[in-house]
Structure 1
Amino acid sequence: MRYLLFYLLFLTNILFAQTTVQIAKGWQLMGLPEQLNDMRLFNHKDVQIIWSFDAAAQSWLGYASDSTVQTKITDAGYGQLSSLKPWQAFWILSNNTWTAALHTDSAIPTDPLNTHLELYRGWNLISLPSKTVVSADFFDEMTVWKYSDEWQVHSNTSLPFPSINEISVSEGLWVKSTEDQTIDLNEKASKLHTFESEEAMLEYIRSMVKNHRYPYYGYIDDWSIITPGDNTDFSSDGFSDPQTTIETVSDATSTNLQEEGVDESDILKHDGQHIFFVDQENARINITSFTNISAGEYTPLQQITLESGQNVSAMYLQNNRLSVISKKYEYHILEGDPQKFHLDIYDVSDINTIKLLTSTSIEGDYRESRMIQGKLILISHFYPQITYEYPTVYPPTTLCEDLRVQMNTIAETTIVSCDFDYCNLPDTPEYREYKALAQDYTDERCYQYNYDENGKAWKYDYENPIIVSEHLTPKMSTKDKVVELLQPKTFYAPYKMDQNADITTISTIDTADGNYLESISFLGSTHTYYASLTSLYLVSRQYPIYYHFDQYREQQTVYQFNIDGALSYTGRGFVDGRMLSQYSMSEYGGALRIATTSGNSWSTIGTDNALFVLKSNQNEELETIGELHGLGKENETIHAVRFIGERGYVVTFRRTDPFYTLDLKDPTAPVVAGTLMIPGFSEYMHPIDENRILSIGRDADSSGRATGLQIQL
């Protein structure tokens, strides 16, 4: 049972927060996530003694508010404990359970990116210095002991104790380090690691779902896998004659691509002769030709009929293969709309006999895709689902039950119109006894309990849920087999566990025959996607984001994966601010350029429009090797970005449109090469050649109010 309950109350209209810590009766090993410069917090009638361990000197320190006890501690040769660092744990002996109120300007450190654990060679008595949860693997090869009703251990050797699965703020730890070292908690917690076994991987996912603040408790019915039909023929009855000579055109535009050679999805594709376009309203894909359109013939040459309720999300056409990604309407009473999308690959080499080669069902939600030389790269999200039941527990104390009986007795003879946990009665003699009891009822937190028909207090044990059913990992059904997309050695997860339990999976399909190739996954939600010929970059805005009453800091995480050959994880990095779209990123010369905006135009701290240049190193990190800040005028934000070779183009706006040209020849020292002030703003920029940019946006008046469409060259 976990004895510590932290309540972090963020009050948006005041400049401080309060954290309350419930300290249990008896001995307890714990820590506090903030600096204590003195020990006044523990000058409490119920505190007998506190012990901590000075790892640098490998000696004990003691504190007691009773001067007689303190004298005995120092006379015995122990040092006096006079302060506590955020990462310093301690043993405390209390006569009764009591609540300590910590008044602080924030429960988050002033510098949230500089939260450190100091470890010395030998044994260390520590706790996590900020409000988070990490897996025990955070400490790598070190031996770690944790006590909560019983001892638990994290160790490479086999010991007859339960293993530590997770470590939370306020939990005290014994950690044995082989060297003096300082660990950056936030930097280390965000690192990705794989797993030694399927059991360890699944246990990690279970813990993530349990720890997430808003876990999804869904009911999992039968996640049926649809077996695809093979070689379905689509006859041409009722369509225009496909035997007409079809000419190839050379001056037709295709899907707008950010990077040459990296195909992006569309709902209209052509191969120079035939045009394939989606008709969502009538649930079909129509096929016509440039020849027919030129001749004024608009009746489709051929059609592919979709299922009722099937909605096409993306489509590709390469090497006589039409790849269609869609969501089919499926609804189960218990399950609701399942996490599932579909990939159908058609052989369109002969327009007269279009055949369905493969139909694949993939668990998860489709997010994005790319195609390079016939290899389809799919990005999907999956949300692990667990159905819990919570056992009921009866507390050992009868104090709340006694208070409730006394209050009910008074209420039977006195008109009392208030709840047990809230009573706003006049301060008159007939109500004073009841009000005193009601105050005790609140102070003892009796409102946390339910009461049965016999007046016995009970509550749900949310710390120890019982798993009724679970669906933790996504699967793919392709042809006649089912594939597990998550594997321990290719599933990357952070040590930080108190975040959304989304799983992002990258899968590759050979569209020539529809065969599944491989997958790689990581735990984290992603929102923006960019691909070069060799790398895929996925951006998450969920971790880490820090809020502070005096400052607001926003960061995004960038994950890089190699897609040139076998899938592999390259590394991750961080940039301040938020990106506008995929065009905010571009890879050139092995470096990734990113344009971001921090802050908001309406905030008191203003905005910062910046460029960051990241490059992977040997430690699975995307290291910032160059940056440029201060683009735009005061409180302006980025509205358009485009990178072309060694140049970058950025448009910021609030009232007028500063158009910046960036010189990126030296990735370690990007500079502004030129600035153009024009009214309105651009929302999209398209390269015409190396010296001309076409911009599409809005015209605006002197106050910044948009007035109409604007196209500029």
Structure 2
Amino acid sequence: MRRRILLCATILVLAGCSEAPPSPPPRKAPVLNLVAFDTCDRLLTDLRAATRLSVGPYGLPGSGSFPENAAVFGARADSAMPAAKTQAYSGTNVHEAGADEPDVVKTDGRRIVAVSRGTLRVIDPATRALTGRLDLGTGAAAQVLLSGDHALVLSARYSSSIDGRAYEMASGDAEVILVDLSGPPRIISRYRGVGRVVDARQTGSVARVVLSSTPRIDFPYATDNTDDLLRDNRQAITAAPLDAWLPSWQVITGTAISSGRVDCSAVSRPKTYSGAGMLTLLTFDLAADALTDGSPVGVVSDGDLVYGTPTSLYVANQDWQGGDSADTEIFKFALPDVGKPELAASGRVPGSLLNQYSMSEWDGRLRVATTAGSASAVRVLTDSGGKLVQTGVVDGLGKNEQIYAVRFIGPRGYVVTFRQTDPLYSLDLSDPAAPRVTGELKITGYSAHLQQVGDDLLVGVGQEASTSGVRQGMQVSLFDVSASPRRVGQHVVPQSVSDAEFDPHALLWWPATSLLVVPVKGASEGALAYRVDAGGLQLAGKISGYVNRSLVIGNDLWTLGDNEMTAYDLSTLDRIKALNF
């Protein structure tokens, strides 16, 4: 997916952009009310009725979305690690401190764990040696979370057997794998569940994994007549059993196999729903001896964006009404220290969200940035008796433009909109009833991701563009936001793009040495290292070759490519050693 996005972005760089017609005015969205189902019979009756209304001649509406991850780097120490072995290291560039996000590479300072092409690899950063390799038995793209001597791999299953034994589970469904790293890496348990992995968040050793599934109903397609197709599809829904909607699961630990389905009592519904999707939130403890069923919590809805803090997890479902018109329903889960999450509140806002950075919880309230119709807005929502109710709004941002980047930092917010030029708006959100714009900087090009690099400094990674909006190449900007925003540094790489424009996990910010590492692809290939401070943005060096991720351990800068990891001297950026996969 990332390669396709980069290809499209490169084409846009070469071909420029075209203007889209103004969107229709936004519709006022109702508040959602969550209700648990009384019985399985009631659940089945309601699901059949809702699904019959939403089905078309060619089946149920599909979801073409994919998870966006993002985020802040910093040095830290692992409390479980002996003090003598502790080294400063960078974590994944995450949205909120204390809510780790899955990625293709992780480190705890003692080891590096990377997953690619169905294989997990372990590297000892002290000896700079590859010390372990594990075939995960899945050919799908995977991401990993790390805690102590265990790793949790999130993937999808595209085969029907493992270790010579066949297990019946639909192709492409979610797979969660618990791996022991205390010695040569080995698989402890596998969880297989119906649905795709939307995203996950980890606090301490506990991971919350969000799955999205659609009903498993065989539609006949026995005629070319659309009226007959619609009639046959509705009849198929009427005959479908409850199991068609309730996601099944299977856990394999050694030779022991357990299986089941999400229980009716664990499913809630909003006031209105289509029946075409179900969200399932699972809880896994990475410190446990084996995986469980995940204590599933279900909501009759779809979902495409996940945002989390150590105490709350939000899932957003963008409900497209045709064309550019959309509403977004948001579900809030409370995350207790012990036990399963609680579906605490829900709400709906007009417009669409860019990515998870469009949401931010602060002082008990949720801020949401959306584009609806011909302008964008930031809304402040308060949990009131299980409803996310709008407390305040600042709208009219970027008329006839779309949001390209959002960052909330405490009581402040920053929004980038773009069509031909890039207004960077600064917002004061300290009064939830009266959020307001405090500044606007209009420049050519745009930032696709905003990274905090100091109390009053933001780095923007995006594209430079002509005054008519034609993209010209990757742009790194440094903004002083102590008052009204102003740009104090800029570097442009013609005919190039960066993974960080689409996936902030690709960006490394190492505050200990004020180092920013940005991958670049296109006319230039590799990564650029910058020194960033209040005085500006200075290019410190270039790293050649394909760079997907970068991280710091001690005095080494490590980069992950397609087929290798390479260590560089953190100060000089001289190459030390490459480990070929």
Same fold (TM over 0.5): yes
Residue 216 of structure 2 is aligned to residue 385 of structure 1: yes
- Find the aligned partners of 2:154 and 2:393 in 1 and give their Cα distance: 38
Which residue of structure 2 aligns with residue 306 of structure 1? 136
Distance 1:370 1:667, change over 3 A: same
1:483 Cα offset (Å): 5.0
1:481 Cα offset (Å): 5.3
1:482 Cα offset (Å): 3.5
State whether residues 110 and 125 of structure 2, in contact with CA within 8 Å, keep that contact through their aligned partners in structure 1: yes
- Find the aligned partners of 1:449 and 1:695 in 2 and give their Cα distance: 53
- 1:468-492 Cα shifts (integer Å, max 9, x gaps): 7763311222244545452233211
Which residue of structure 2 aligns with residue 651 of structure 1? 416
- 1:346-375 Cα shifts (integer Å, max 9, x gaps): 221x3x343422222222222111111111
State whether residues 278 and 284 of structure 1, in contact with CA within 8 Å, keep that contact through their aligned partners in structure 2: yes
- Find the aligned partners of 1:460 and 1:670 in 2 and give their Cα distance: 50
State whether residues 193 and 493 of structure 1, in contact with CA within 8 Å, keep that contact through their aligned partners in structure 2: yes
Which residue of structure 2 aligns with residue 597 of structure 1? 371
Choose between structure 1 and 2 for higher RCO, CA contacts under 8 A separated by at least 6 residues. 2
- Find the aligned partners of 1:270 and 1:212 in 2 and give their Cα distance: 45
Give the alignment partner of residue 210 of structure 1, picking from 31, 45, 52.
52
- Find the aligned partners of 1:677 and 1:391 in 2 and give their Cα distance: 57
Distance 1:378 1:198, change over 3 A: same
- Find the aligned partners of 1:659 and 1:679 in 2 and give their Cα distance: 11
Distance 1:302 1:460, change over 3 A: closer
Residue 120 of structure 2 is aligned to residue 285 of structure 1: yes
- 2:303 aligned counterpart, secondary structure: coil
State whether residues 305 and 317 of structure 2, in contact with CA within 8 Å, keep that contact through their aligned partners in structure 1: yes
1:328 Cα offset (Å): 2.5
TM-score, normalization: structure 1? 0.54
1:107-506 superposed matches below 5 A: 190-214=32-56, 248=85, 250-280=87-117, 283-293=118-128, 299-307=129-137, 309-330=138-159, 338=171, 340-348=173-181, 350=182, 352-387=183-218, 464=235, 467=239, 471-478=244-251, 479=253, 480=256, 482=258, 484-496=260-272, 499-506=274-281
State whether residues 209 and 215 of structure 1, in contact with CA within 8 Å, keep that contact through their aligned partners in structure 2: no
- 1:385 aligned counterpart, secondary structure: coil
State whether residues 157 and 172 of structure 2, in contact with CA within 8 Å, keep that contact through their aligned partners in structure 1: no
State whether residues 473 and 484 of structure 1, in contact with CA within 8 Å, keep that contact through their aligned partners in structure 2: no
Distance 1:511 1:674, change over 3 A: same
Distance 1:111 1:370, change over 3 A: closer
- 1:518 aligned counterpart, secondary structure: coil
Residue 398 of structure 2 is aligned to residue 623 of structure 1: no
State whether residues 684 and 696 of structure 1, in contact with CA within 8 Å, keep that contact through their aligned partners in structure 2: yes
1:262 Cα offset (Å): 0.3
- Find the aligned partners of 1:366 and 1:654 in 2 and give their Cα distance: 32
Give the alignment partner of residue 701 of structure 1, picking from 456, 466, 478.
466
Instruction: Structure 2: give runs of 5+ residues left out of the alignment.
Output: 1-24, 61-82, 162-167, 479-581
Distance 1:628 1:303, change over 3 A: same
Distance 1:704 1:289, change over 3 A: same
State whether residues 196 and 212 of structure 2, in contact with CA within 8 Å, keep that contact through their aligned partners in structure 1: yes
- Find the aligned partners of 1:202 and 1:659 in 2 and give their Cα distance: 49
CA RMSD of aligned residues (A): 3.4
Instruction: Structure 1: give runs of 5+ residues left out of the alignment.
Output: 1-109, 115-185, 219-245, 294-298, 393-420, 422-446, 451-458, 600-606
Give the alignment partner of residue 555 of structure 1, picking from 327, 352, 355.
327
State whether residues 304 and 317 of structure 2, in contact with CA within 8 Å, keep that contact through their aligned partners in structure 1: yes
State whether residues 391 and 460 of structure 1, in contact with CA within 8 Å, keep that contact through their aligned partners in structure 2: no
State whether residues 388 and 468 of structure 1, in contact with CA within 8 Å, keep that contact through their aligned partners in structure 2: no
Aligned residues: 416
1:662 Cα offset (Å): 0.9
State whether residues 278 and 286 of structure 1, in contact with CA within 8 Å, keep that contact through their aligned partners in structure 2: yes
Percent of counterpart pairs with the same letter?
27
1:679 Cα offset (Å): 2.2
- 2:127 aligned counterpart, secondary structure: helix
Which residue of structure 2 aligns with residue 573 of structure 1? 347
- Find the aligned partners of 2:54 and 2:277 in 1 and give their Cα distance: 10
1:342 Cα offset (Å): 1.5
Distance 1:390 1:671, change over 3 A: closer
Residue 370 of structure 2 is aligned to residue 613 of structure 1: no
- 1:597 aligned counterpart, secondary structure: strand
1:488-527 superposed matches below 5 A: 488-496=264-272, 499-513=274-288, 514-516=290-292, 517-527=294-304
- 1:257 aligned counterpart, secondary structure: coil
State whether residues 174 and 211 of structure 2, in contact with CA within 8 Å, keep that contact through their aligned partners in structure 1: no
Distance 1:201 1:464, change over 3 A: same
- 2:336 aligned counterpart, secondary structure: coil
Distance 1:485 1:663, change over 3 A: farther
The one-letter code of the counterpart of 2:272 is K
Distance 1:614 1:256, change over 3 A: same
State whether residues 533 and 564 of structure 1, in contact with CA within 8 Å, keep that contact through their aligned partners in structure 2: no
Distance 1:287 1:388, change over 3 A: closer
- 2:265 aligned counterpart, secondary structure: helix
Which residue of structure 1 aligns with residue 436 of structure 2? 671
- 1:212-242 Cα shifts (integer Å, max 9, x gaps): 3238879xxxxxxxxxxxxxxxxxxxxxxxx
- Find the aligned partners of 2:33 and 2:436 in 1 and give their Cα distance: 31
1:344 Cα offset (Å): 1.3
- Find the aligned partners of 1:111 and 1:270 in 2 and give their Cα distance: 44
Q: Which has the higher Rg, Structure 1 or Structure 2? A: 1
1:324 Cα offset (Å): 0.9
1:276 Cα offset (Å): 1.1
Choose between structure 1 and 2: higher strand proportion.
Answer: 2
- 1:301 aligned counterpart, secondary structure: strand
1:290 Cα offset (Å): 1.8
Distance 1:580 1:689, change over 3 A: same
- Find the aligned partners of 1:345 and 1:209 in 2 and give their Cα distance: 35
1:251 Cα offset (Å): 3.9
1:521 Cα offset (Å): 0.7
- 1:593-639 Cα shifts (integer Å, max 9, x gaps): 0111112xxxxxxx211100001111x2100001001123x422211
Which residue of structure 1 aligns with residue 532 of structure 2? none
- 2:50 aligned counterpart, secondary structure: helix
State whether residues 112 and 546 of structure 1, in contact with CA within 8 Å, keep that contact through their aligned partners in structure 2: no
- 1:562-589 Cα shifts (integer Å, max 9, x gaps): 1224311112112111111100110000
